[in-house]
């Protein structure tokens, strides 16, 4: 068994000729990228109706609960990113703290989850864009073609260069914050129709047993999707100035900022819903849109749709940037088929162009499947893919602490490091089970069991590929800090 220092030396990520990334992100731009990846608009709108129907207005409390758990994870990620400030976030962190296999499977889950997420973001943006343009009832293929155009243009934006990406992300970030906070403030000051006490009411006005009941657990599972994406700051670590210090700050503060905006906007919306009982019962298909139109009239519809388009597009750009870096970092270590092609950098800014193109092509395939039963099953893997990818490095860090092998980097939690890591590991284990748990939603059985099905299929496929690839081509990267 090697000592920690020996292990660090053997695990250091090699930088061969032509593989050096250019520095192009500051603390501010890395924070903006992570903020856009999570996206307050996407984080709130995508799960608002699900949470409201599942647990009533009190589902709002799932936001601070999940945020607290994810902040624990962000703190652990900050320590990992400071210790190993390499491109690829969860892949690098899991690989260095637990070994080659752990890193490979973290990347595998992450790549699948985020590529599917790209398709949902493009498809969602297409729907909102068509409505904003006055196409009230677009056919499936019109939406699909629009989503494919968004995929192409978004991929081109990521390929053009970091400056373009930073400008687009920053502009969308300003729009998102102004829209979310500004609209929330107006609703609270002038259009609040429900008392603050409704935030403690479950579905049907129930209050007793709410916090431990199935509805709140379901709400926590839905909200779990809202607070992921902050790891994007770690995916671009080698492109950030002083990454060992700046990446941890970007990780933690981007999540905290999104959490505050989402909780504020979410509370404002709940308190402004005109017919809360109808919204909770599911009679109102879109409580967010219905509430805004009820108070501001139909004139708000188009600006609201534009706001949604901006949020989804910003999240798309950031998600693609993050997943393409994980693919590139894995290919640089020759850990993927086609590593020579995917590990290339191109252009004046030395970007992983081939990896970006692969993510766009993969998302396009999923977009073509939209509307099918298979797509309904695949989409649900996005959440569990994130949590598996998050869990592997955090669980590895917890084991390193237990074995006394952990050594901090420039950013450290000090004496709190071990207890925070243990709590983060327990939180991720709980959320993984909670998210995977099949729930009676009235949908087809394969949709209710989709998390379990996709996790099993992707897991078995990953084991098969890893077993083949690790024996034939993938080099031994070294032992872990165990």
Q: Which residues does residue 351 pair with via DSSP β-bridges, in sequence order?
A: 346
Q: What is the mean pLDDT of residues 3-11?
A: 37
pLDDT computed for residue 145 by the predictor: 96
pLDDT at 189: 94
Determine which of 246-250, 331-335, 366-370, 472-476 has the lowest per-residue pLDDT on average: 472-476
User: DSSP class of residue 74?
Assistant: H
Banded model confidence at residue 467, pLDDT cuts 50, 70, 90: confident
45-83: per-residue pLDDT in tens? 889 998 998 889 999 999 999 999 999 999 999 999 999
Point out the least confidently predicted range of 173-182, 201-210, 354-363, 414-423: 201-210
> Who has greater pLDDT, 20 or 181?
181
Which residue range forms the structural domain that includes residue 434? 22-472
- 181 part of a folded domain: yes
Indicate whether 278 pLDDT > 80: yes
Chain centroid to CA 468: 29
Q: Is there a contact between 280 and 56 (Cβ–Cβ < 8 Å)?
A: yes
111-139 pLDDT, tens digit per residue, is 999 999 999 999 999 988 998 888 878 88
Q: Lowest mean pLDDT of 150-154, 167-171, 414-418, name the range.
A: 167-171
pLDDT value of residue 204: 57
**Mean pLDDT, the chain, as a whole number?**
87
Q: Which residue has the higher pLDDT, 287 or 162?
A: 287
For residue 339, the model assigns a pLDDT of 87
Q: Is residue 367 part of a domain?
A: yes
The single-letter DSSP state of residue 405 is: -
Are 384 and 436 spatial neighbours (Cβ–Cβ below 8 Å)? yes
Token representation of residue 198 = 């409704």
Q: In CATH, what number is assigned to the domain containing residue 260? A: 1.20.1740.10
Q: Copy the structure tokens of residue 234.
A: 């770690």
Q: Which residue has the higher pLDDT, 476 or 307?
A: 307
DSSP string, 202-254: -GGG--TTTTTSHHHHHHHHHHTTTT--TTHHHHTGGGBSSHHHHHHHHHHHH
| Domain contains 14 | no
Per residue in 288-338, pLDDT (tens digit) is 888 988 898 888 878 888 888 888 888 999 999 999 999 999 999 888 888
Q: How many domains does the chain have?
A: 1
Answer whether residue 479 shows pLDDT above 80: no
Long-range CB pairs of 126-131 (<8 Å, 24+ gap) are 126/150, 128/305, 128/306, 128/308, 128/309, 128/312, 129/305, 129/309, 131/301, 131/305
Q: 127-141, 342-356, 466-480: which has the minimum mean pLDDT? A: 466-480
User: What's the token pair of residue 113?
Assistant: 């989850």
Residues 115 and 454 sit within 8 Å (Cβ to Cβ) = no
Is 402 inside a domain boundary? Answer: yes
User: What is the percent of the chain where pLDDT is above 70?
Assistant: 91
pLDDT at 213: 66
Report the pLDDT averaged over residues 230-256: 95
Quote the CA–CA distance of 422 and 103 in Å, as a whole number. 20
Residue 96 lies in a domain: yes
Q: How far is CA 330 from CA 111, 315, 343, in A?
A: 10, 23, 8
Residue 331 confidence (pLDDT): 92
Residue 254 resides in a domain? yes
pLDDT for the residue numbered 446: 87
Residue 12 is assigned to a structural domain of this protein: no
């Amino acid at each position: 068994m090697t000592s920690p220092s020996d292990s660090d030396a053997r695990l250091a990520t090699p930088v061969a000729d032509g593989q050096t990334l250019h520095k192009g992100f500051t603390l501010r731009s890395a924070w903006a990228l992570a903020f856009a990846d999570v996206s307050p608009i996407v984080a709130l709108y995508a799960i608002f109706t699900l949470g409201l129907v599942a647990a009533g207005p009190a589902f709002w409390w799932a936001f601070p609960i999940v945020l607290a758990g994810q902040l624990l994870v962000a703190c652990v990620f900050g320590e990992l990113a400071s210790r190993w400030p390499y491109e690829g976030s969860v892949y690098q962190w899991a690989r260095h703290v637990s070994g080659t296999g752990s890193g490979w499977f973290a990347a595998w889950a992450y790549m699948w989850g985020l590529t599917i997420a790209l398709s949902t973001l493009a498809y969602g943006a297409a729907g909102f864009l068509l409505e904003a343009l006055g196409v009230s009832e677009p056919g499936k293929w019109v939406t699909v073609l629009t989503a494919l155009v968004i995929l192409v243009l978004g991929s081109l934006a990521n390929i053009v260069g970091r400056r373009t990406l930073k400008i687009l992300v920053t502009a969308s970030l300003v729009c998102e914050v102004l829209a979310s906070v500004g609209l929330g403030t107006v609703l609270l000051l002038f259009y609040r129709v429900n008392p603050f006490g409704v935030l403690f009411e479950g579905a049907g006005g129930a209050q007793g047993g709410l916090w431990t009941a199935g509805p709140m657990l379901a709400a926590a599972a839905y909200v779990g999707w809202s607070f992921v994406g902050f790891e994007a700051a770690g995916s671009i670590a080698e492109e950030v100035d002083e990454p060992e210090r700046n990446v941890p700050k970007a990780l933690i503060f981007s999540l905290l900022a999104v959490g505050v905006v989402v909780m504020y906007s979410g509370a404002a919306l709940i308190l402004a819903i005109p017919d809360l009982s109808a919204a909770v019962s599911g009679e109102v298909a879109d409580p967010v849109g219905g509430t805004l139109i009820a108070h501001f009239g139909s004139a708000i519809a188009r600006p609201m749709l534009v706001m949604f388009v901006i949020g989804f597009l910003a999240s798309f750009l950031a998600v693609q940037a993050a997943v393409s870096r994980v693919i590139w970092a894995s290919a640089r270590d020759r850990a993927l088929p086609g590593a020579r092609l995917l590990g290339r950098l191109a252009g004046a800014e030395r970007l992983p162009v081939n990896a970006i193109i692969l993510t766009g092509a993969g998302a396009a395939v999923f977009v073509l499947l939209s509307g099918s039963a298979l797509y309904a099953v695949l989409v649900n893997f996005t959440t569990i893919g994130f949590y598996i990818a998050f869990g592997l490095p955090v669980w590895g860090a917890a084991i390193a602490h237990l074995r006394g092998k952990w050594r901090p980097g420039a950013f450290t939690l000090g004496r709190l490091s071990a207890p925070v890591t243990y709590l983060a590991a327990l939180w991720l284990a709980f959320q993984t089970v909670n998210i995977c748990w099949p729930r009676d939603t009235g949908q087809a059985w394969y949709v209710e069991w989709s998390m379990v099905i996709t996790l099993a299929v992707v897991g078995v496929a990953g084991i098969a590929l890893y077993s083949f690839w690790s024996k034939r081509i993938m080099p031994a990267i070294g032992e872990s800090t165990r």
